[in-house]
Amino acid sequence: MIEVSHISKDFVAPKKYPGLRGAVKGLFSTEKVIKTAVDDISFSIDTGEIVGYIGSNGAGKSTTIKMMTGILVPTKGTCTVAGINPSRNRKENAQNIGVVFGQRTQLWWDLPLSESFTILKEIYNVSDAEYAGQMEFLNRVLELQDFFDRPVRTLSLGQRMRADLGAALLHNPKVLYLDEPTIGLDLVVKDNIRKAIREINEKYRTTVILTTHDIGDIEELCSRIMIIDEGRKIYDGSLADLKDTYGTRRKVSMEVKQPEKAKGLRLHEILGVQETACSMSFSPENSMLCVTFDKHRLQVPQILSAVMAVVEVKDVQIQETELAEIVKEIYNHGVGGKA
């Protein structure tokens, strides 16, 4: 459905100098700075996939989306969406896609929502029958009828986001781009939006590309994720694989009876592994002993028996590394060559 090969985007900006003198200097300088927002990214996405596209702020996510929607022309490389080159045939491509930019609205600010939908119906050339059918579906999953007659500017953020998603889906696009669709929403609305996205994907086999900072979105929706950092793709694969590859650390928290004994414990020596494979920390206030370990090297029972040999344990909690932790680690260190 989507083929992206070796796509790059450079932004050229006049060089800025610091301070007031710099501002004056900037008036006469013709020096340019080239910033590469997206650097040689390739991927292909099949029909019906929901792909999470994640990366830290400024990593180049939105730029990639903008190139796929035809708003920006790539500096290098090509991209085809449903067989159409978006930057060359922007209008044809626009007929096939639906876009939600979470921070913006595509609705007409001063008009009632119903009018925005009427205009979109004309723009996308949706027939009356299709319109009625699609509206029924959208009303069911997004509950637009509650605020359908109100001007868009009076809608709450959650309502507006639902309306925006509805507007992007009115013409039943083949591809749906969602750029942070759950930004700033409360848990209930987030849940509804996710449910709607899933339902649309199941019903129409709509291909969905989603950028987000909300790990919940990814865990609940995406079968595949791509991570991008500083314009380069650093991971592309399934969520389970990512967890397997990077989520090797598990954590066991134990509440102990004799804090003074636990403090002096040197667990990695007892178990005969390096400190990186098994590190511990102790917080005296609540007598909690936390052990973080490599799940390929050690097993939970080993740790428990080693600790219990020394101190008496009252309570045990075992935690899997959360996706958020993995992603944070990737952003911080960059996994470069490994992926």
Partner 1 sequence: MRKRLRIYLPFAANELKRQLAYKGAFYLFILVNLFGSFISYYLWMAIYGSSEKAVIGGLTQKEMVVYVFMVYVTASIVTASISTMVSDDVVKGTVAMNLIKPIDYRLSLIAMASGNMAYRFLVPSVFIWIGLEIYKIKVLGLAPVTVMGIFLYLTSCIMSFLIYVLFDFCFGMLAFFTTYIFGMRMAKDALLSFLTGQLIPISFFPAAMQRVFDFLPFSSMVYTPVMIYLGKYTGETLAFMMLRQAAWVVLLYVAGSLIWRQVTKRLIVLGG
Q: Where on the chain is the footprint of partner 1 (CB under 8 A)?
A: 11, 62, 66, 69-73, 90-92, 94-95, 97, 99, 101, 103-106, 108, 110-111, 115, 118-120, 122-125, 179
In the complex, least distance from residue 95 CB atom to partner 1, rounded to whole angstroms: 5
Strands 50-54 and 224-229 turn out to be: parallel
The span from the CA of 182 to the CA of 193, in Å, is 7
In the complex, least distance from residue 249 CB atom to partner 1, rounded to whole angstroms: 33
In the complex, least distance from residue 61 CB atom to partner 1, rounded to whole angstroms: 10
The residue (of 58 and 284) whose beta carbon lies closer to partner 1 is 58
Query: Exposure of 277 by Cβ count < 10 A (0-12 exposed, 13-18 middle, 19+ buried)?
Result: middle
Q: Phi/psi of residue 25, each to 5°?
A: -60, -40
In the complex, least distance from residue 186 CB atom to partner 1, rounded to whole angstroms: 21
Spacing of C-alpha 262 from chain mean position: 41
Q: Identify the H or E element spanning 142.
A: helix 128-142
CB atoms inside a 10 Å sphere around CB 16? 12
**CA distance from start to end of the chain:** 24
The residue (of 99 and 225) whose beta carbon lies closer to partner 1 is 99
Q: Are 229 and 61 in contact (CB under 8 A)?
A: no
Q: Are 8 and 38 in contact (CB under 8 A)?
A: yes
The residue (of 52 and 98) whose beta carbon lies closer to partner 1 is 98
- Tell me how many helices (H) and strands (E) the chain has: 13, 13
In the complex, least distance from residue 152 CB atom to partner 1, rounded to whole angstroms: 12
The residue (of 177 and 293) whose beta carbon lies closer to partner 1 is 177
Rg of the chain over Cα atoms, rounded to whole angstroms, equals 25
The residue (of 11 and 17) whose beta carbon lies closer to partner 1 is 11
The span from the CA of 67 to the CA of 175, in Å, is 14
Contacts of 44 (CB under 8 A, 6+ apart): 2, 3, 4
The residue (of 151 and 247) whose beta carbon lies closer to partner 1 is 151
In the complex, least distance from residue 124 CB atom to partner 1, rounded to whole angstroms: 7
Strands 249-256 and 288-294 turn out to be: antiparallel
The residue (of 220 and 230) whose beta carbon lies closer to partner 1 is 230
From 266, 248, 272, select the one nearest 307 (Cα to Cα). 266
Contacts of 295 (CB under 8 A, 6+ apart): 248, 249, 250
Structure tokens at 241: 């694989």
The residue (of 108 and 131) whose beta carbon lies closer to partner 1 is 108
In the complex, least distance from residue 40 CB atom to partner 1, rounded to whole angstroms: 20
In the complex, least distance from residue 119 CB atom to partner 1, rounded to whole angstroms: 4
The residue (of 167 and 227) whose beta carbon lies closer to partner 1 is 167
